[in-house]
Amino acid sequence: MASEVLCTRWTMVLIRELLAGSSRFGDLRRGVPRMSPTLLSQRLKELEAAGIVERTPVTDEVGIYEYLLTAAGRDLKHIIESFGIWGQKWVETQATLENLDPALLMWDMRRNINPAPLPSQRTVVQFCYPELPTNRREWWLIIDPKAKVEVDLCATDPGFEVDLWVTTDLKTMTAIWMGLSSMSELQSKLLVDGDPALARSMAQWLGLSHFAAQKKIVG
């Protein structure tokens, strides 16, 4: 019965996104970008029926709902973490780096940014992946301690002055984020321009995967 509930397509990835803090439909879509809106809606209804998720109206926002994990849903945390640890250890690196999605990478990087080493005012970092199509090439991370959303991600130019430009290829950035290679090892493939202090502290504030510290067994 547990397999019937949890092992349908995309369900474990969706639960992972809920555990990571996404609760609104749009954010869940960004965290699972290859899942169609229709299937996402269906899976949320199934998880609600199974007692894993509850749908709650957002105060002061008519017609807007949040999807929150119940105690049964939160109890899946260790299972999801075990999936991630296993994948980091045993899924072949080359296979992983051939299945790349810039939206998913940037969404997870946004979630794991450490604002502590950054200035107290708004900081804008623009990432550029020259090999990608124009509509997926440029991304902006906006870190603003005074904003309602402290760290935000934009796929279109937000109109703010950029403090740091990072130009690289998607495979390099994914390898760094996954902890497969360090920033110093891939320095020749990273072009960083802008505020020197931000550039120097990049290794401290850049958000890496939750599993980056896990030792890789299959290369």
How far is the C-alpha of 209 from the C-alpha of 89, rounded, in Å? 13
Percentage of the chain surpassing pLDDT 90?
75
Q: Residue 91 — φ and ψ, nearest 5°?
A: -75, 130
For position 96, what pLDDT does the model report? 67
**CATH class, 94-205 region:** alpha beta
Q: Are 37 and 26 in contact (CB under 8 A)?
A: no
Q: Are 73 and 52 in contact (CB under 8 A)?
A: yes
Note the pLDDT tens digit of each residue in 107-135.
999 999 999 999 999 999 999 999 999 99
Q: Are 11 and 50 in contact (CB under 8 A)?
A: no
How far is the C-alpha of 38 from the C-alpha of 56, rounded, in Å? 19
CB atoms within 10 A of CB 129: 22
Instruction: Specify the higher pLDDT residue, 97 or 127.
Output: 127
- List, by residue range, all CATH 3.30.1050.10 domains of the chain: 94-205
* CA dihedral angle for residue 101, residue 102, residue 106, residue 109, rounded to 10 degrees: 60
Pairing state between β 138-143 and 123-128: antiparallel
For position 97, what pLDDT does the model report? 72
For position 218, what pLDDT does the model report? 67
pTM: 0.85
Residue 207 has pLDDT above 90, yes or no: no
Q: Which two tokens stand for residue 65?
A: 């709902």
Q: Among 3.40.718.10, 3.50.50.60, 1.10.10.10, 3.40.50.300, name the CATH number for the domain at 2-75.
A: 1.10.10.10
Q: Which two tokens stand for residue 76?
A: 């899946």
- List, by residue range, all CATH 1.10.10.10 domains of the chain: 2-75
What is the rounded average pLDDT of the residues 72-78?
97
Instruction: Specify the higher pLDDT residue, 99 or 107.
Output: 107
How far is the C-alpha of 156 from the C-alpha of 135, rounded, in Å? 8
Positive or negative, the CA dihedral 189, 194, 199, 204 is negative
How far is the C-alpha of 87 from the C-alpha of 99, rounded, in Å? 14
How far is the C-alpha of 21 from the C-alpha of 143, rounded, in Å? 18
How far is the C-alpha of 78 from the C-alpha of 16, rounded, in Å? 10
Which of the four pLDDT bands, split at 50, 70 and 90, describes residue 27? very high
For position 131, what pLDDT does the model report? 95
For position 219, what pLDDT does the model report? 64
Positive or negative, the CA dihedral 144, 149, 154, 157 is negative
